[in-house]
């Protein structure tokens, strides 16, 4: 029952998987080694960094990443513990939070972003 079409699909899928894992793995290892944060932490940092206006952001973050709401919450926990980000309560809606980079967070982000972009370029051609 395995049609040629099927084989093509499977091949295409394996190649996507490989390039995804290769790229994600390379970035993750590099960031871990040089900046002591993982890929997901960086992604959140990166999202916060490029939405510099202060909206109520936890929620918005969840919509810009494939991560679960609860995953985002835990990533932010770690970032906060590491002193890179701080949670600000939101006056309009006291259930919401928005995030701010600390000085340290801003500094780390700008170095890490260079590395991140370089590895993307290298892996995505």
Can you name the residues that pair with 89 across neighbouring β-strands? 97
Among 7, 22, 34, 74, indicate the residue that binds DNA (CB under 7 A).
74
Residues 6+ apart with CB under 8 A from 78: 41
Q: Is 38 in the site for DNA (CB under 7 A)?
A: yes
Report how far residue 119's alpha carbon sits from residue 91's, in angstroms, rounded to the nearest whole number.
39
Mask 33-72, x = binds a second copy (CB under 8 A)?
A: -------------x---x---------------x------
Report how far residue 58's alpha carbon sits from residue 67's, in angstroms, rounded to the nearest whole number.
12
Interface ranges with a second copy (CB under 8 A): 1-2, 5-6, 9-10, 12-13, 16-23, 25, 46, 50, 66, 110, 113-114, 117, 120-121, 124
């Amino acid at each position: 029952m395995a049609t040629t079409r099927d084989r093509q699909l499977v091949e295409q899928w394996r190649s996507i998987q490989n390039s995804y894992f290769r790229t994600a793995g390379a970035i993750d290892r590099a960031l871990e080694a040089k900046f002591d944060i993982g890929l997901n932490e960086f992604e959140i940092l990166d999202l916060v960094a490029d939405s510099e206006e202060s909206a109520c952001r936890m929620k918005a973050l969840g919509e810009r990443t494939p991560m679960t709401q609860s995953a985002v919450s835990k990533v932010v926990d770690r970032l906060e513990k590491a002193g890179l980000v701080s949670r600000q309560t939101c006056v309009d809606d006291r259930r919401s939070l928005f995030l701010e980079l600390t000085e340290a967070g801003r500094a780390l982000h700008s170095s890490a972003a260079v590395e991140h972009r370089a590895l993307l370029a290298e892996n995505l051609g």
